[in-house]
Amino acid sequence: MIETPTVRIRPGGTTERPLLRLLPPLALYVHVPWCVRKCPYCDFNSHKTPEVLPEEAYLAALRADLEQALPLIWGRQVVSVFIGGGTPSLLSASAINEMLSMLRAYLPLQPTAEITLEANPGTAEAARFSAYGQSGITRISLGIQSFNDQALQSLGRIHDAAQAKAAIGFALDAVERVNLDVMYALPQQTVQEALFDIQTALSFDTSHLSLYHLTLEPNTVFAKYPPVLPSDDDSAEMQDALIQLTADHGYEHYEVSAYAKPGFQAEHNRNYWEFGDYLGIGPGAHSKLSFPDRIVRQSRVRNPQSWMDQAVLRNETHLAENRTVDAEDLPFEFMLNALRLRDGVPATYFEERTGQSLAVILPTIRKAIDKGLLDPHPSRIKASDLGWRFLTDLQELFLD
């Protein structure tokens, strides 16, 4: 069992929230909002690309957004950068180079910082990917989704299987670390078709795979017009098979949907799951920033043009939300992330990163252990095998 730490009580009987004595690692997220077209399953902040991509205006607004955020993170080292979207690979090589130069000028990037760029195979070019690598991109994440042309068409993707395979080659030539996003339980997909996609992805021997079960998210075309999906039994068979296949090929299943070769876990995403801090800049980007006496969440205006117009005014009107997280919400937020990791997190992280004593959640920890959902490890917060399989049930215990 996890030992009960000392807890201080305020007059009146409420638990005193201790100060954060050590700020967690800080990552940077940069959002590029444009796509050639929006996929029917996508609920991210993406918008159809205008006739002329406004790179110059976007970079000017990005600079203004970052400059206004600097006082919140002054002096803190940045451990990773993730350029996501949308489709960041729509940006020219010169635009990415200018962006990275700006980030280095303003922020103390860790020398070994992982710098990831998301890319769509339909926008992949060998010369452009090579230039990304020369600019300082260290990791490319490709949205493959499937190697089946019919499945890709049903998902609204702009690439075909041949383009997907070519893009993987371009990425592997450009950088050492390459992630492939592949989805399963697609509309009318058979178990054999799902396994073909996974086996094809494994054949490229990339350093990382992200294997996602298709979900029908609210406010998407698929939610409004649901396609015919595989049965729960078929979906479970797909998942069991892909877990075994990835293990057979030397991948560690270290997070719910993430599989990595040894030494190649996604550092940026891992920081999220360990309840680290992140500054998000760009339209619709979210931030979680810790201070000695509070934790703040922010979000930017979602519409790209509105964000660009407001950011350059430098009066913070580009912020759609800027609030201090209620102390009572922090335990669930922490556990929602930490329990996604197969090995969990050190128990000390809870107090270090929420500012609360572990005693706040100790009754729920004991309840989860009694149910067989949490590992009774003396120094880690970690789901059991059963708890990882029924992760939502385990996480919901901490809502109280």
pLDDT tens readout for residues 206-233: 999 999 999 999 999 999 999 999 999 9
Q: What is the pLDDT of residue 400?
A: 75
Strand partners, 78: 26, 109
Q: What is the DSSP letter of 149?
A: H
What is the per-residue pLDDT for 179?
A: 98
pLDDT score recorded for residue 8: 33
Residue 6: pLDDT above 90? Answer: no
- Mean pLDDT for 12-35 is 79
Indicate the average pLDDT of the chain: 93
What tokens were used for 279? Answer: 């500054």
CATH says 26-273 is which class? alpha beta
**What residue segments make up the domains of the chain, in order of their start?**
26-273, 344-399
Residue 13's pLDDT is what?
Answer: 33
- Can you list the alpha helix ranges (DSSP code H) found in 10-137? 55-73, 93-106, 126-135
Q: What is the mean pLDDT of residues 154-165?
A: 96
Helix (H) or strand (E) holding 30: strand 26-32
Q: Is the peptide bond before 86 cis (omega within 30 degrees of 0)?
A: yes
pLDDT in the model for residue 84: 97
**Percent of the chain whose pLDDT exceeds 90:** 94
What pLDDT digit, counting tens, does each position of 91-134 carry? Answer: 999 999 999 999 999 999 999 999 999 999 999 999 999 999 99
Looking at residue 11, what is its pLDDT?
33
Cα separation of 336 and 334, whole Å? 6
pTM here is 0.93
Helix axes 55-73, 93-106, angle to 10 degrees: 20
Contacts of 100 (CB under 8 A, 6+ apart): 115, 135, 136, 137
